[in-house]
Amino acid sequence: MKKQHPCGSQEWEILRVGADFRLKCLGCGHQIMIARKLVEKNTRGLRGPE
């Protein structure tokens, strides 16, 4: 995401893909549901699985 999470992390794990995305913050573990439109607009870059 372009903006960092309040915990200071900028990395997210994608848990679910559909009309909404479920994202998990890799810094604190907080999970959010966000509309696909907002994710596509606010995503800076994607990395493959490690």
Residue 3 pLDDT level (bands cut at 50, 70, 90)? confident
With a cut of 90, say whether residue 43 has pLDDT above it.
no
Q: Given this model, what pLDDT does residue 15 score? A: 94
Q: Give the per-residue pLDDT at 21.
A: 94
- Rounded to an integer, the average pLDDT of 4-29 is 92
Q: How far is Cα 50 from Cα 42, in angstroms, rounded to an integer?
A: 22
Residue 50: its pLDDT value, please?
66
Q: How high is the mean pLDDT of the chain?
A: 89
Give the pLDDT band (50/70/90) at residue 36: very high
